[in-house]
Structure 1
């Protein structure tokens, strides 16, 4: 089954879980992975879906054995395991990464944080920063003008952020935000 067909089948059957009208574009994947490369070390992706961002991460030079994916949808997990041999694919929520990962250079998130309750959003981002090394980055996209975290979440987690990309060639257009520890 094609990646696009898989996405749309999941969108129709689980619209709240998918929370997007189209798969991420290759342009968004490139923007999300712009600070990654062979020297990044371990990279973890939250919510890889069909693997569009995953492909961007690998194209940036991250080795398959340095990449771990955390995905809740079993159909996406099956697809990802077949499409990306050598990449570690976990059928588990993002927050469980704290049990498996350490010394991570970057967390790339395709999760629809804005459609989640604030407490869950904060829990997911807190988990990312538990596994990130001190200079690690958390990269998240959103369709709105502001990051997917409230100012109070950003303050409570002791983070700073910058908009590191705007991708008009995505449906809908997306902004990329990179978060770091203060």
Structure 2
């Protein structure tokens, strides 16, 4: 990722912390962990891939490098400045430009996004810990609705952020984070098939990999 893209990410972090979530883009190690299900996916046919909240494209680059002819790649990003960065990458970066025709950026909230069919691989960069509980429920339901039966859904969480913030935060924030923790654990208890620990990221992160029942 270029210096200009990192600056753009930091600028949006300062302007919109609630939807940006981190001071720095995801590392290549986190990007690799997030895209492991795509790398391991059987390919008897072209795949449908959805990335939710790509930001400036730290994980997108790893997805693009794995796209094959015929694959469909949709990106849903609410931040118009991030959308501009992504469009520039698809226009100017050689590797991205090769896959531009099969990639579509949708500048809208996830709840407003509609697709013609579910996806084989869904990858989310949404910062759930920053959202109200009601919005987390909306986003999780919307995300899960785009996952095809037998397909995978991957998202990341920063290690121990909820527990630390629950220890030092205001009462309202502690209650919100506790509710998010309980909801996510209960919602995906039977769907998780793997959790990756990524220490080479700021901050370190867990990647949760879920599979929808076929």
Tell me which interval the TM-score lies in, with the shorter structure as reference length. 0.7 to 0.9
Q: For this pair of structures, how many residues does the alignment match?
A: 181
Deviation at 1:113, TM superposition (A): 0.8
Aligned mate of 1:127, from 133, 139, 142? 142
| Counterpart position of 1:80 | 86
Identify unmatched segments of 5+ residues in structure 1. Answer: none
5 Å-filtered alignment, 1:39-78, equals 39=43, 41-61=47-67, 66-78=72-84
Judging by fraction of residues, say which structure has more helix.
Answer: 2
Deviation at 1:18, TM superposition (A): 1.4
| Counterpart position of 1:8 | 10
* 55-64 or 45-54, larger mean C-alpha shift: 55-64
| Counterpart position of 1:21 | 23
Q: Do the aligned partners of 2:154 and 2:210 also contact (CA within 8 Å) in 1?
A: yes
| Counterpart position of 1:177 | 208
Q: Secondary structure at the match of 2:12?
A: helix
Indicate yes or no: 2:164 matched with 1:164.
Answer: no
5 Å-filtered alignment, 1:106-125, equals 106-125=121-140
Indicate yes or no: 2:116 matched with 1:95.
Answer: no
Deviation at 1:158, TM superposition (A): 8.0
Residue deviations 1:88-133, cap 9 Å, x none? 0000111223x22413111100010111112211221211222221
Q: 1:101 and 1:165, CA in 2 relative to 1: closer, same or farther beyond 3 A? A: farther
Residue deviations 1:53-108, cap 9 Å, x none? 111112234559511111111110111112123320000111223x2241311110
| Counterpart position of 2:172 | none
* 74-83 or 117-126, larger mean C-alpha shift: 117-126
Task: Provide the C-alpha distance between the structure 1 equivalents of 2:66 and 2:195, rounded to a whole number of angstroms.
Answer: 16
Given the two structures, how large is their TM-score scaled by the length of structure 1?
Answer: 0.86
Identify unmatched segments of 5+ residues in structure 2. Answer: 91-99, 163-176
